[in-house]
Amino acid sequence: MRSFVALELPPAVREAAAEIQGRLKPTGAEVKWVRPESMHLTLKFLGEVDPGDLPAIEQALEHACRGRRALELELDGCGAFPGRGRPRVVWLGVSGQVEELAGLARAVDESLAGLGFAPESRPFKAHLTLGRLRQGRRGRRAPDTRGLSRALAGLASWRGPAFRAAKVALMQSTLTPQGAIYQPLHVISLP
């Protein structure tokens, strides 16, 4: 089963993200938007996991979260990876206790490395994915992203709601033609 580890988000954060999506959709860029109810803050993507390995994964996550407290975060800025000039992933940034958040992501990474999951090669960048640009088919012109790039530049300093991130979840991801469906398999509450 396809799995990942994430921080769950409160409804106000999902609503703010949906509002930003609504401001970006009229740009005409070919983006596959993430459904607001599916939004989360990814700590680590695991890929395909054998269901028999779930107890060990859950134990590793419990170890990684031991002694950690809920995080005070805030939505902060809007942008794209790798950059606004050639966007592939549209995101909302996160500020607040980001050093503690990065520490949690490192602890999750280190705990799961002991189970054979490859450690992350890139530094952790806290963000909520709003959508992914559809890539032009071979032989066709690349999609026009100028309007999206201008809209993202106008939202670079946008600030959204502050929120408390208190739940780390091991999630199952089932891919469907309508988009991924996420189901929590194990949830750890941070005090």
- What residues does each domain of the chain span? 2-137+144-189
| Spatial distance between the Cα atoms of 10 and 8, rounded to a whole number of angstroms | 7
Residue 85's pLDDT is what? 73
Set 40, 44, 84, 167: catalytic member: 40
Residue 135, pLDDT score: 72
- pLDDT for the residue 156: 96
The SS3 assignment for 129 reads strand
Going along the chain, which residue ranges are E strands?
Answer: 2-7, 31-33, 41-48, 71-81, 89-96, 127-133, 159-165, 167-176, 179-189
Instruction: List Cα–Cα distances, 150 to 20, 30, 84, 102, 147, in angstroms.
Output: 14, 15, 8, 30, 5
pLDDT for 139 equals: 47
What is the DSSP-derived secondary structure letter of residue 122?
S
Of the candidates 14, 44, 84, 127, the residue annotated as catalytic is 127
Whole-number pLDDT of residue 138: 52
Mean pLDDT in runs of 10 for the chain (191 residues)? 97 98 95 94 96 98 98 97 86 98 97 95 94 69 82 96 98 88 96 96
| Domain 2-137+144-189, CATH | 3.90.1140.10
Query: Is 40 annotated as catalytic?
Result: yes
Predicted TM-score (pTM) of this structure: 0.91
49: Cβ–Cβ under 8 A, 6 or more apart, which residues? 1, 2, 3, 57
Q: Is 166 exposed, middle or buried (0-12, 13-18, 19+ CB in 10 A)?
A: middle
Q: Residues near 146 by Cβ (< 8 Å), separated by ≥ 6?
A: none
